[in-house]
A and B are shown apart, each in its own frame.
Chain A
């Protein structure tokens, strides 16, 4: 029974996420369009609502060019990994607050539920970078792809560390790795008010981890053409984007759960609050895209190792100290 439910959940999650990814692109395009005084997709369907479907279909029919020098198995593997592991991370993310059933059981709106949700999610996110790394290696000596994947690997390694350190503060405060518990702990006041530095560091790190403006260096178009995706086309390239959008969802959900109290909030039902927060983060992504230029690669690493890391270490020390002596954190 458990397994059956899990499988059904899995199918639903994959379906929902796929649709979500499609419409996330539409949402993004609409938002940035209006920011730039345009209107975004408008022609396909009502307000361009069918545009994502058209785009998806197009990516299916696109010619799949495989470079002659490419390592064929790896060339297949790379996009698969890049798309799979974000999904793996996403199955631990709840889509709604857990439902306390009448029989005393709790129904979780996530496929996978454990006490170490965060650890699991961070682990899966870390694995995602393998897809990018393999893409660079599989591209058969393409210098752009190789440089792009090198950048991505270094960037993800750096920012996963920041991400983890930033998460450590709420974890310390909630005494748990379970997402549900962390939400519980914010019932009265969201952690963002206790841990503003950690929140800022997390937001920076999550943008970097998903390689979006101003940290989209692995695929910085003017420099590296399309970074690790340079040699990929059609559906394979679509899979990389797919993975990226799922990642954006994962980190947005994580941020709203860990720092913004997840589904807690006044008046409106929990699920609404929860999604408002996620969409706000996605909006933030788009907003940044529309506003910021791009950092240079060395500057990005400087931010991680010279600014954020010491800051976070200090922050953890302070949090630990404050918790130990019973001071209100901050």
Chain B
């Protein structure tokens, strides 16, 4: 039995934080053993939002599963779409054929998604620690991004915009203008957040030297994304296992060595700036052209063809009803998501549906390091650490 559930003396108290609790970002049940307010031991319990998404995947075609990935990390649906779609494309062997414009659009969406996700992180992290205004400021900017997403795909939360073979449709008129406007304006906004928090004494007191995890532990726990980069691990899939057009773009990977909540905070703050830089470059470089590959074996054909040619119509029915036949084999693709490395492992037996689909959910893995981080701290530190790990239960519980 886990130590966290055993009370050794009368000073120790077991406190159930969650699953219904204002600061657990969803439905985490965090069991802490307290001595006074000091944490002796703790154990995170997950699974309250389990929907069996991996199992569901075995019963649907590759196209059908795409919207389900929206429901993983619902704060960064675009990035989830991207990771899944890239995994499927790797399985199909069409990664190289994705039109360049589509690749740039994907990068734009992924980076906007990263900023949006980090803004929600900043908002809730600050709100948890008591700074309410930051919450509203960052939601103000997030709204801007969500509006842009709505322009592109009509949805505000679950986008399903990035599709196998490209993106659902080309960017609408006026999108690039808004993006330009946003990238210009965003540097100033990040400054505003810095003003409110970065040098704030209370903020420093609450985040510095709290929730420490060493570089070795971070690697051993398999923590990914900004959380490891806060512990001095210089690892970012966009640079180290490049995909899409990231190699052509110029950006830095912020790394801080302190390993505490504050370091993770700084990493994400810097990442937002870097993402904004990427966006600026994308605006410059994005070419014209198609946004979807022309590979009728795997992607929907244009309606004109389906209505005019019987073979196109017949193939369309097969793709819709039975799903396209992916080559047999197994494939893993991990993308650098706002929360860390989101990986999709697909085992295909050559049918229209995956035989097995496994999701490496960064939130799930990051949570595993929590007991290590909060041990010896106070109740309030749990809140700081939860905020700094930035997990989403849609993804963790899957």
Contacts and interface: CB of A to CB of B under 8 A. Distances in A.
- Direct A–B contact in complex, judged by CB atoms less than 8 Å apart: yes
A222 B24 CA distance: 8
A223 B202 CA distance: 16
B130 A147 contact: no
Nearest to A298: B378
A292 interface: yes
Contact of A296 (B15, B136, B137, B378): B378
B132 interface: yes
A221 B132 CA distance: 12
B126 interface: yes
B379 A292 contact: no
A223 B133 contact: no
Interface stretch (A35-43, A126-134, A314-322): A35-43
Interface string A278-315: 00000000000111111111110000000000000000
A225 interface: yes
A220 interface: yes
Contact of B202 (A35, A224, A292): A292
A12 to B, nearest CB: 35
Contact of A293 (B37, B140, B203, B378): B203
A305 to B, nearest CB: 16
Contacts of A214: 130, 202
B4 interface: no
B221 to A, nearest CB: 24
B359 to A, nearest CB: 28
Contacts of A224: 379
Contacts of B378: 296-298
Given A36-B137, A38-B136, A223-B383, A294 B15 contact: no
Contacts of B203: 293
Interface residues of B, number: 30
A292 B130 contact: yes
Contacts of A143: 13, 15
B345 to A, nearest CB: 35
Interface in A190-227: 213-214, 216, 220-225
Nearest to A217: B380
B140 A37 contact: yes
B131 A296 contact: no
B90 interface: no
Contacts of B129: 222, 293-294
Given A143-B15, A222-B22, A293-B206, A213 B130 contact: yes
Contacts of B126: 293
Contacts of A147: 37, 379
B31 to A, nearest CB: 12
Contacts of B382: 223
A293 B200 contact: yes
A158 B211 CA distance: 28
B200 A223 contact: no
Contacts of B196: 291
Interface in A254-298: 289-298
Contacts of A297: 37, 378-380
A297 to B, nearest CB: 6
B205 A299 contact: yes
Contacts of A293: 126, 129-131, 197, 200, 202-203, 206
B136 A225 contact: no
A298 B21 CA distance: 22
A281 B200 CA distance: 22
A220 B131 contact: no
Nearest to B196: A291
A221 B135 CA distance: 15
B100 interface: no
Contacts of B206: 293-296, 299
Contacts of A32: 132-133
Contacts of B132: 32, 36, 213, 289-290
6 contacts: A36-B136, A37-B136, A147-B379, A225-B22, A290-B133, A292-B130
- Sorted nearest first, the 7 A-B pairs with minimum C-beta distance are A294-B130, A222-B23, A36-B136, A293-B131, A222-B128, A293-B130, A293-B129
